[in-house]
C-alpha cells in the first residue's frame, strides 16, 4: 500500500495480486452457450431454465445442495439479431406490492434478450430487467462481450400510476 498526502487530499493506492471473481461475470463459448458466475439480487440467486428445470446460476438447487449437472448453461444460439447486439440480463418478476417471491423459481432468472433495441419489445407488468452483459454479434457468432454488472444487486420498485409507468431500479451492494 502506498499513502501519499498532498495539499489537495490523501491518495491511497493498493496493489493486489489476487484475482477478483466478480459476481455475474458472463462468459460465452463458441457454441453460443452462456455461463454466468454466481451473483445475487436482494440476496436471492437467479436461475436458468435447463431442460425444463430451474437451476441456480451457482450450480446448486433450491436447498443449496450441488446440482448434479453443475452450473447451468443458457443457450443463446439461433436468435435472429437485426441490431447486431443483444443482452444477457437478470429478469425479476414482482407482485403488486413490488415484492419478489423467492420461492418461485421463475421470479429471479437470467435470460437472453435478443431484441433489446426493438421498439416492439413487449413490456410486461411487474417484470424488470437488469443487463448483465452486452453481446456484440457478427453474423451468427459473438465477437465481443461487454460486462455491465460487477457486484451483487439490490432492487427497488416504483409502482406506476396514471401519469408514469412502473419502474425497476437496480443498484450495487
130-143: pLDDT as tens digits: 999 999 988 888 88
> Can you give the pLDDT at residue 83?
77
Predicted confidence band at 90 (pLDDT cuts at 50, 70, 90)?
A: very high
Mind listing the pLDDT tens digit for each residue in 6-54?
Answer: 887 887 777 766 665 678 999 999 889 999 999 999 999 999 998 888 8
| pLDDT > 70: percent of the chain | 90
- Does residue 84 have a pLDDT over 90? no
Q: Give which of 1, 73, 71, 68 is closest to 34, Cα–Cα.
A: 73
Q: Give which of 88, 67, 73 is closest to 137, Cα–Cα.
A: 88
| Contact between 113 and 87 (Cβ < 8 Å) | yes
> Can you give the pLDDT at residue 15?
72
> Can you give the pLDDT at residue 140?
84
Q: Give which of 116, 110, 133 is closest to 82, Cα–Cα.
A: 116
DSSP string, 127-154: EEEEEEEEEEEETTEEEEEEE---S-EE
Distance from CA of residue 51 to its chain's centroid? 20
Mind listing the pLDDT tens digit for each residue in 141-151?
Answer: 888 999 999 88
> Can you give the pLDDT at residue 148?
92
Tell which phi-psi region holds residue 68, choosing left (phi > 0), alpha (psi between -120 and 50) or beta: alpha
> Can you give the pLDDT at residue 20?
59
Q: What is the mean pLDDT of residues 104-123?
A: 80
Residues with Cβ within 8 Å of residue 35, at least 6 apart in sequence: 26, 27, 29, 71, 72, 73, 74
- Does residue 80 have a pLDDT over 90? no
> Can you give the pLDDT at residue 88?
94
> Can you give the pLDDT at residue 28?
93
Rounded to the nearest integer, the mean pLDDT of the chain is: 86
Amino acid at each position: 500500500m502506498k499513502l501519499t498526502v498532498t495539499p489537495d487530499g490523501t491518495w491511497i493506492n493498493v496493489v493486489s495480486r489476487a484475482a477478483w471473481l466478480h459476481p455475474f461475470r458472463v462468459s460465452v463459448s463458441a457454441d453460443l452457450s452462456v455461463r454466468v458466475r454466481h451473483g445475487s439480487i436482494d440476496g436471492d440467486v437467479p436461475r436458468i431454465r435447463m431442460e425444463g428445470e430451474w437451476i441456480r446460476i451457482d450450480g446448486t438447487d433450491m436447498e443449496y445442495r450441488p446440482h448434479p449437472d453443475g452450473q447451468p448453461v443458457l443457450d443463446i444460439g439461433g436468435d435472429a439479431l437485426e441490431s447486431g447486439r443483444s443482452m444477457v440480463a437478470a429478469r425479476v418478476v414482482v407482485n403488486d406490492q413490488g415484492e419478489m417471491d423467492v420461492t418461485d423459481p421463475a421470479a429471479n432468472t437470467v435470460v437472453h434478450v435478443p431484441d433489446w433495441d426493438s421498439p416492439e419489445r413487449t413490456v410486461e407488468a411487474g417484470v424488470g430487467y437488469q443487463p448483465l452483459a452486452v453481446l456484440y454479434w457478427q453474423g451468427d457468432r459473438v465477437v465481443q462481450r461487454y460486462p455491465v454488472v460487477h457486484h451483487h444487486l439490490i432492487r427497488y420498485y416504483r409502482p406506476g400510476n396514471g401519469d408514469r409507468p412502473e419502474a425497476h431500479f437496480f443498484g450495487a451492494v
